[in-house]
Amino acid sequence: MQKLLQIYGFIMICLLSGCTSLPDHAIRVSETPDIYPDYRDITIPSNIAPLNFMMRNDSVSSFFVIVKSANDSIVFKSKSQKMIFPTDKWKKMMSLHESDTLQVTITARKDKQWIQYPPFYWNVVSDKIDPYLSYRLIEPGYEVWNRLQLKERCLEDFDEKTLADNKLLDGKCMNCHVYGNNSGDLSMFHLRGKNGGTVLNQNGSLRKLSLKNDSMVSSAVYGSFHPSGKYGVFSTNIIVPEFHTQGNKRLEVYDTKSDLVIADFENNRMITSPLTSDSLSLQTFPVFSADGNYIYYCTAPLVDLPDSIHSLRYSLCRIPFDATKGEWGTQVDTLWDASLHNASVCHPKTSPDGRYILYTVAEYGTFPIWHRETNLQLMDLESGEIHTLDAVNSDRSDTYHSWSSSGKWFAFASKRGDGQYGRVYFAYIDKDGHAGKPFVLPQANPGHDDLNLKSYNIPELSASKVPFDAYAIQKLMNKTEVESFN
């Protein structure tokens, strides 16, 4: 009864605001509405920000959006080609329909007549997505790396915060921001160059670490937190960029050497294993399992580079880890064999519930962002079944993914659209491991993506805010001594 009264009250608000002055008649057409972003027929979390969109047809001068459930009908009006949903009304609508399927119909004024497009649907689920997302904003080319920012965006509205800005850091290169346990209280990123180091955030206390010793081929590169927060597992890589002669693969990046190491943050020591430091093979992209008992990573036999780059293919492997003793295991298992699939895997990420591992597959190598064929796959770690995620993937690069803490959502970067700029997309996974059509990060101005000339790099989801900002990182760089590891 209370919910029905809430719905009635909400309808009356819309009626009193004059948003229901629909035209008396409209011609029904069979063509689908050309909108951006494409928010048609998607599953969305009930806590997502308004899905503002715009009509791509220049002949449209104004339009109505009718959102209908089994119990009510809500109408929004736009006097332009953009639909900007009022935030308060949007949140009210989501709270009342968090487990409903909503029918969305657009009636538009086009070429001096009213037309009505076929409806599409929003499947609203009560499985909320983590409300915070961090990413690196970077030009999509290879030549500009000194105009970088790390940002944190609230997904429940449009608030954005700068975590680090290299204008404040003497133009230093910054690697992407990584959370532990989907928490803003545990995170890290690498700040390269003089006075740099790995920035470690532990409950707002910032440390600057030199994650390298004499036995490592380089400083720590790609990394992941142990669930305890005591350890981090990293690759250590000699990375070489090369230009391609192939038009659709502008740049190739590969390793000539790469090993794995574990950083003990409490005792300032690096822990190695001969099984992950083999000079005849390459190891990279390590990540802990949800329970911390295993490390998943990618490995490939060393080939003659760059001549044999097309035969450089990585398999997905797993090795145990004993957190109590701080020791690597003694046996490596191969979960996905590159020689059997004739492809290469990278960026494995385990789901928070431990059931799945999400990874990227390309024809070869470990630099998928310029590989148009790059797709995401999902492996069920209990059954070994592989989901190819056909509804998620596109004909452009789909990669750089992260899980929400519930394990029901994941974010990823995709170059679908123009093929140049990476944008953040979100996909929902049901209880059977099936994912539906993804949707792009909502913006206050739906034309934002047309105007933004930077890519979103390494989107990472978090359940809470990061307790520092760009000025705290500037202070850390200039005034804090780096901690050495042995």
CATH number of the structural domain spanning residue 81: 2.60.40.10
Cα separation, 274 vs 202, whole angstroms: 30
In this structure, are residues 200 and 230 in contact, taking their beta carbons and an 8 Å threshold? Answer: no
What percentage of the chain carries pLDDT values higher than 70? 93
State yes or no: pLDDT of 235 exceeds 70.
yes
State yes or no: pLDDT of 426 exceeds 90.
yes
State yes or no: pLDDT of 18 exceeds 60.
no
Domain count, the chain: 2
In a domain, 329, yes or no: yes
What percentage of the chain carries pLDDT values higher than 90? 79
pLDDT of res. 144: 53
In a domain, 365, yes or no: yes
What does pLDDT average to over the chain?
A: 91
Q: Which of 70-74, 137-141, 233-237, 265-269 has the lowest mean pLDDT?
A: 137-141
In a domain, 407, yes or no: yes
> Do 284 and 382 share a domain, yes or no?
yes
In this prediction, residue 213 has a pLDDT band, given cuts at 50, 70 and 90, of: very high
Question: In 10 A of CB 31, how many CB atoms?
Answer: 9
In this structure, are residues 296 and 315 in contact, taking their beta carbons and an 8 Å threshold? Answer: no
> Do 425 and 321 share a domain, yes or no?
yes
- Residue 85: which of 100, 101, 104 has the closest Cα? 104
**Mean pLDDT score, 36-65:** 96
> Do 51 and 200 share a domain, yes or no?
no
> Do 204 and 343 share a domain, yes or no?
yes
> Do 28 and 116 share a domain, yes or no?
yes
In a domain, 324, yes or no: yes
> Do 276 and 351 share a domain, yes or no?
yes
> Do 84 and 184 share a domain, yes or no?
no
State yes or no: pLDDT of 390 exceeds 50.
yes
Domain boundary among 95, 125, 155: 125
- Please write the tens of the pLDDT for every residue from 301-331: 999 998 899 999 999 999 999 999 999 999 9
> Do 145 and 101 share a domain, yes or no?
no
State yes or no: pLDDT of 461 exceeds 90.
yes
Q: Which one is predicted more confidently, 438 or 20? A: 438
pLDDT of res. 242: 74
In a domain, 484, yes or no: no
> Do 88 and 183 share a domain, yes or no?
no
Give bridge partners of residue 108 from the DSSP assignment: 63, 115
> Do 208 and 347 share a domain, yes or no?
yes
Q: Which of 19-28, 252-261, 269-278, 474-483 has the lowest mean pLDDT?
A: 19-28
pLDDT of res. 247: 54
pLDDT of res. 243: 65
Domain boundary among 125, 147, 173: 125
> Do 67 and 152 share a domain, yes or no?
no
The pTM of the full predicted model, rounded to 2 decimals, is 0.93
pLDDT of res. 19: 46
Q: What is the dihedral of CA 217, 220, 221, 224, to 10 degrees?
A: 140
**Mean pLDDT score, 394-398:** 93
- Please write the tens of the pLDDT for every residue from 3-12: 544 444 444 3
State yes or no: pLDDT of 13 exceeds 50.
no
Buried-exposed string 260-273: b where 16+ CB fall within 10 A, e elsewhere = bbbbebeeeebbbb
In a domain, 237, yes or no: yes
Q: Which one is predicted more confidently, 289 or 370? A: 289
In a domain, 485, yes or no: no
3-class SS string, the chain: CHHHHHHHHHHHHHHHCCCCCCCCCCEECCCCCCEECCCCCEEEECCCCCCCEEECCCCEEEEEEEEECCCCEEEEEECCCEECCCHHHHHHHHHHCCCCEEEEEEEEEECCEEEECCCEEEEEECCCCCCEEEEEEECCCCCCCCCCEEEEEECCCCCEEEEEECCCCCCCCECCCEEECCEEEEEEEEECCCCCEEEEEECCEEEEEECCCCCCCCCEEEEEECCCCCEEEEEEEEEEEEECCCCCCCEEEEEEEEEEEEEECCCCEEECCHHHCCCCEEEEEEEECCCCCEEEEEEEECCCCCCCHHHCCCEEEEEEEECCCCEECCCCEEEECHHHHCCEEEEEEECCCCCEEEEEEECCCCCHHHCCCCEEEEEECCCCCEECCCCCCCCCCEEEEEECCCCCEEEEEECCCCCCCCEEEEEEECCCCCECCCEECCCCCCCHHHHCCCEEEEEEEECCCCCCCHHHHHHHHHHCCCEECC
In a domain, 102, yes or no: yes
In sequence order, the 6+-apart residues with CB closer than 8 A to the CB of 358 are: 348, 349, 350, 351, 376, 377, 378, 379, 401, 403, 410
> Do 339 and 434 share a domain, yes or no?
yes
pLDDT of res. 68: 97
pLDDT of res. 1: 47
pLDDT of res. 193: 87
Q: What is the CATH number of the domain that holds 268?
A: 2.120.10.30
In this prediction, residue 95 has a pLDDT band, given cuts at 50, 70 and 90, of: very high
Domain boundary among 92, 125, 158: 125
**Which domain, by its residues, includes 72?**
2-125
**Mean pLDDT score, 391-401:** 95
